[in-house]
Amino acid sequence: MKKLTSLMMATALTATAAAPAFADGHAQKWDMPMAYSASNFHSENGVKFADCVRAGTEGAIDITVHPGGSLFKGADIKRAIQTGQVPIGERLLSGHQNENAVFGFDSVPFLATSFDASAKLFDAAKPKLEEILSDQNLTLIYSVPWPPQGLYFKKEVNSVADMEGVKFRSYNNATARLAELTGMLPVTIEAAEISQAFATGVAESMVSSGATGYDRKVWESLTHFYEVDAWLPYNHVMVNSDTWGGLDADTQAAIMACGETAAADGLEASKAYTQFTLNGLREGGMTVGPAGEGLVNELKVVGETMTAEWLEAAGDDGAAIVDAFKN
Ligand code: PCA
> Residue 97: CA atoms inside 13 Å, Cβ hemisphere, count?
23
Q: Look at residue 30 in the predicted model and tell me its pLDDT.
A: 98
Dump the DSSP string for 238-282.
Answer: EEEHHHHHTS-HHHHHHHHHHHHHHHHHHHHHHHHHHHHHHHHHH
Q: Look at residue 33 in the predicted model and tell me its pLDDT.
A: 98
| Ligand 1 centroid, distance to 174 Cα (angstroms) | 12
189-237 per-position pLDDT tens digit: 999 999 999 999 999 999 999 999 999 999 999 999 999 999 999 999 9
Which ligand 1 atom lies nearest to the CA of residue 35? 9
Closest CA to 125 of 98, 148, 103: 103
Kindly compute the dihedral angle of the four CA atoms of residues 10, 13, 19, 23, in this order, to the nearest 10 degrees. Answer: 70
Burial class (CB in 10 A: 0-12, 13-18, 19+), 320: middle
pLDDT band at 24 (very low <50, low <70, confident <90, very high): low
Beta-carbon contacts of 304 under 8 Å, excluding residues fewer than 6 positions away, are: none
Q: Under a CB-based contact definition with an 8 Å cutoff, are residues 90 and 46 in contact?
A: yes
Please give the share of the chain, as a percent, with pLDDT higher than 90. Answer: 91
At residue 186, does pLDDT exceed 90? yes
Which ligand 1 atom lies nearest to the CA of residue 92? 3
Q: Look at residue 22 in the predicted model and tell me its pLDDT.
A: 54
With a 6 A CB cut-off, is 214 part of the ligand 1 pocket? no
Compute the distance between CA of residue 157 and CA of residue 291 in angstroms, rounded to an integer. 8
**Closest residue to atom 7 of ligand 1, CA basis:** 191
With a 6 A CB cut-off, is 233 part of the ligand 1 pocket? yes
SS3 category, 231: coil
Mean pLDDT for the stretch of residues 260-264: 98
Mean pLDDT for the stretch of residues 84-97: 98
**Closest residue to atom 3 of ligand 1, CA basis:** 208
266-321 per-position pLDDT tens digit: 999 999 999 999 999 999 999 999 999 999 999 999 999 999 999 999 999 999 99
Burial class (CB in 10 A: 0-12, 13-18, 19+), 29: middle
With a 6 A CB cut-off, is 212 part of the ligand 1 pocket? yes
Closest CA to 21 of 236, 234, 186, 250: 250
With a 6 A CB cut-off, is 14 part of the ligand 1 pocket? no
Q: Under a CB-based contact definition with an 8 Å cutoff, are residues 9 and 40 in contact?
A: no
Q: Look at residue 26 in the predicted model and tell me its pLDDT.
A: 73
55-89 per-position pLDDT tens digit: 999 999 999 999 999 999 999 999 999 999 999 99
According to DSSP H, which parts of the chain are helical?
2-17, 41-56, 74-82, 115-135, 173-181, 194-200, 210-215, 241-245, 249-283, 293-326
Q: Under a CB-based contact definition with an 8 Å cutoff, are residues 150 and 228 in contact?
A: yes
Compute the distance between CA of residue 210 and CA of residue 280 in angstroms, rounded to an integer. 9
Identify which of 92, 94, 143 to mutate to test ligand 1's pocket (most ligand atoms within 8 A of the CB): 92
SS3 category, 135: helix
